[in-house]
Structure 1
Amino acid sequence: MGNPRILAIPYPAQGHVIPLMELSHWLVDQGFSITFVNTEFNHKRVRDAFGNKVEGDDSIHLVSIPDGMEPGEDRNHLGKLTDGISNVMTSELRKLLKKINGFEDDKISYVIADVNMGWALDIAAEFEIPGVAFWPASAFLLALLFSTNKLLNDQIIDKYGTPINAERMIELCPNTPAIHPKNFLWISLGDFTTQKITFEYAKRNIKAIENVEWLICNTAFDLEPGALSFVPQILPIGPLSATNQLEPLTVSFWPEDETSLEWLDQQQPGSVIYVAFGSFTVFDPIQFQELALGLELSNRPFLWVVRPDITKGTQCEELYPEGFKTRVGSRGKMVGWAPQRAVLAHPSIACFISHCGWNSTVEGISNGVPFLCWPYFADQFIDETYICEIWKIGLGFKRDEREIISREEIKSKVEQLLNDESFKEEALKLKGLVMNSVNENGSSNTIFNNFIEWMKS
């Protein structure tokens, strides 16, 4: 009998796969072995990005199941993806568990499922396997999902999740971001059909995790005391990225451009603007060009992650303003994808222009980096409020009458952030608090150790 074996299943998006893989590495260090379940589509992307490197770890076994979508369909269409997950992945996971626990000696002892895959815990229960729920985003967002029945009863939203009074800001509990109803998670994901599908799906998953013994979250008490006091069953074990051990097995969907780090080595300490917008953000051509010209106007070195699919329908190469690359020369470096944790830990980074996804947020905090916030959808508006209003470690951008963030606005906010020492001071203070939480006897570390003891008992 080997180490206890855990099946880990993330929601099939980059921002969910990475923190669950980080948790998997933590668990391997504690003597567990992991069967990590990606969709076939994402499994192939990880293999294409990293070749043989994905097979580099005996303790983490990567497997895949279909997501119910056709090969060429758009996985960023969250309504279709949710349908595929609900209709196909459930039966495929059943088959996988049956195969492993029916025919293999090394049986699955636990299932750890992303809350967004809460149905997997119902399936684990059918096999009498104990389940653990993992939430990779902010505790506040999960507290909001837990509050859907109250929002329905108080007539803040209707049965489809649509706000009844769209102008009223909602304050869930003290010391948490006030939230505009248009930024409720299920509303900012797409059209009305997508909203209805994702709202129902979220309610179903929240129901599935109601009775789990462990609901662990990639946050720290010092980051979110308000939300964690409001829903005490959410147990913070993070930030998982704060240990700064750069993992041997990466699960990025794009090949990382390692020349980013060599380029950073040649820059002055605290001089570089790092610009990255996660895996979903899409720009229209005008906004893309204003961003390029704003970085040029800033007159500072910048490292800009330009994903191959960051602009709709047009290749980015054709969209750079005329003469832009010549004018910025070696002061600007554009890459398709960067090893972000190593970049944020680099001494030459001055600030982070970010979409404010939770992984990017906690990675920036874990390195004491101040932010310029450019949220795109989902929980990113909540994270922006945390960054600007509650933690005071960054600034937001204002849009002009075209709904565009202009080059002058970019230049002006970069100067405002970098000329005011208080942002860096607050960021370093917050870094100290989160590092303490994951260090020995810290609040997150203590909960994690109790969790391990429970798993081993």
Structure 2
Amino acid sequence: MFPWFATGHMTPFLHLSNELAKRGHKITFLLPHKALLQLQHLNHYPHLITFHTLTIPHVQGLPHGTETASEIPISLNHLLVIAMDRTRDQVEQTLGTMKPDFVLYDTAYWMPQIAKKFGIKTICYTVVCAASTAIVLVPARNVPKDRLISEEELSNPPQGYPSSKVVLKGTEARSLLFISLPFGEGNMTFYDRTTRALRESDAIAIRTIREIEGSFCDYIGTQYGKKVFLTGPVLPNEAVGKLEENLGSWLEGFSPGSVVFCAFGSQINLEKEQFQELLLGFELSGFPFLVALKAPNGCESVEEALPEGFEERVKGIGVISRGWVQQLLILKHSSVGCFVNHCGFGSMWESLMSDKQIVLVPHLGDQMLNTKLLVEELGVAVEVERGENGWVSKEELSKAIKLMMDGDCEVGAKVKRNHIMWKESVGSSNLMNGYIDRFVQNLQDICMSK
């Protein structure tokens, strides 16, 4: 396993490792040392899953000691990927020594080149929604080297794209303009890198299910001329550990379904004004709330970014986390009734598989596509309305929360019914185990075809 050095990529790779190990397979997981400290508690089969740490070289422009994406703003990811590429010799030496049957990777486009030297098969495993891969990363969408892709081009789906609902329009498309920006050395763009990673693999695997994204997966397979294997969302069956005592005690003080929980993942850094506006929106909603957001841009801490008088006003009914929180455990708590999130693919699945009402505030292109899947295709969530400049006001956030928390509201009730239906439809352990079993069989079939 060699995922991109971001929590939202390494964690699903490790969840898949656990499922494979449960079925008797041995895994070597390549990762930075700092990531090992974050992930080792999630290794359920240490006798079969071995962590192999890599030395991450320094790249000019990155803070010294940077090893993972959660340590830096998204704007510096293009430098971290250079550091990742410069571990190539270490990775090649490891593969040459271990000679595994397969390597699963995502952004390391060079992996097939070195794996072929040792007769190793490669699987490009994408842990974002199939819709985002389908709409921007098909060969027909080639971005000219001499210019950036335009907003208009991204607003128009490529030929054969299978949905009229899961499409970014107008200003939404701006969040995808990064695909034609540098992402690595040698003038390589994000688009170049990702399409090459998909194109040169022996097969493509996607962390999704046919019941929701089957048409997108078929489209990707047709475009790349490759087999597309599905693993399901690969979520842990049970949240690991116990809630921090202070937080657990605080949640116990509220009635069932009354608390609003908000988390935007490990990489979203809001501007200070937007950060403050969201907090004021939670206050305006009138519900008790638990918010886990990173300190906004330009601020060293969450404390210095809080609105004036905010802590005093919400004392006892509002908690602002100062660090990482146990998201799955919080979502299991009976006092939590609503999950406000950015709709990263992991949070999307955790939302769908929970029994909490879902309010979405996406920030990046794939998150916006995930949001459209939940809101437009499945009808299980609401998205907070934004102003023309992309601003999320406290009034609109409060309005969306109240809409979902009001048991008598027709819209909220309909969304809740849809959510229950979809959770029951796709959330069974038999269905999810079936995806992993078929994935293992897919890998065995490739081995037999050597």
- 1:92 aligns to what? 90
Number of aligned residue pairs: 423
Deviations 1:220-239 (A, max 9, x none): 11121321232343222211
Deviates more, 1:258-267 or 1:367-376: 258-267
- In the TM superposition, what is the alpha-carbon distance from 1:361 to its structure 2 partner? 0.3
Q: Which has the bigger relative contact order, CA under 8 A and spacing at least 6?
A: 1
Partners in 2 of 1:202 and 1:142 — Cα distance? 10
Unmatched 5+ residue regions in structure 2? 67-71, 222-226, 407-411
| Secondary structure in structure 2 of the residue aligned to 1:68 | coil
Deviations 1:313-340 (A, max 9, x none): 3421012122222222222222211111
- 2:319 aligns to what? 333
Quickly say closer, same or farther: Cα 1:448–1:359, change in 2 above 3 A: same
* Amino acid aligned to 1:325: E
Matched, 1:9 2:8: no
Quickly say closer, same or farther: Cα 1:310–1:150, change in 2 above 3 A: same
CA contact (8 A) 1:260 1:343 kept: no
| Secondary structure in structure 2 of the residue aligned to 1:235 | strand
- 2:353 aligns to what? 366
Instruction: Choose the corresponding residue for 1:121, options 93, 112, 115.
Output: 112
- 1:207 aligns to what? 196
| Secondary structure in structure 2 of the residue aligned to 1:410 | helix
Partners in 1 of 2:187 and 2:134 — Cα distance? 17
Quickly say closer, same or farther: Cα 1:407–1:422, change in 2 above 3 A: same
| Secondary structure in structure 2 of the residue aligned to 1:132 | strand
CA contact (8 A) 1:273 1:350 kept: yes
Deviations 1:263-306 (A, max 9, x none): 33443222221100011111111111111111111111211113
- 2:422 aligns to what? 430
* Amino acid aligned to 2:214: P
| Secondary structure in structure 1 of the residue aligned to 2:400 | helix
Q: So what's the TM-score if we normalise by structure 1?
A: 0.82
Partners in 2 of 1:180 and 1:343 — Cα distance? 34
| Secondary structure in structure 2 of the residue aligned to 1:222 | helix
Deviations 1:45-89 (A, max 9, x none): 542x58989798232222222343342564731221233333x12
- 2:272 aligns to what? 285
Matched, 1:31 2:24: yes
Partners in 2 of 1:170 and 1:125 — Cα distance? 34
Partners in 1 of 2:54 and 2:112 — Cα distance? 17
Partners in 1 of 2:165 and 2:438 — Cα distance? 22
Quickly say closer, same or farther: Cα 1:237–1:164, change in 2 above 3 A: closer
CA contact (8 A) 1:305 1:334 kept: yes
Q: So what's the TM-score if we normalise by structure 2?
A: 0.83
Alignment of 1:269-280 (within 5 A): 269-280=256-267
Identity, in percent, stands at 22
| Secondary structure in structure 1 of the residue aligned to 2:421 | helix
- 1:313 aligns to what? 299
- 1:78 aligns to what? 77
Partners in 1 of 2:45 and 2:432 — Cα distance? 32
CA contact (8 A) 1:162 1:187 kept: no
Partners in 2 of 1:207 and 1:190 — Cα distance? 13
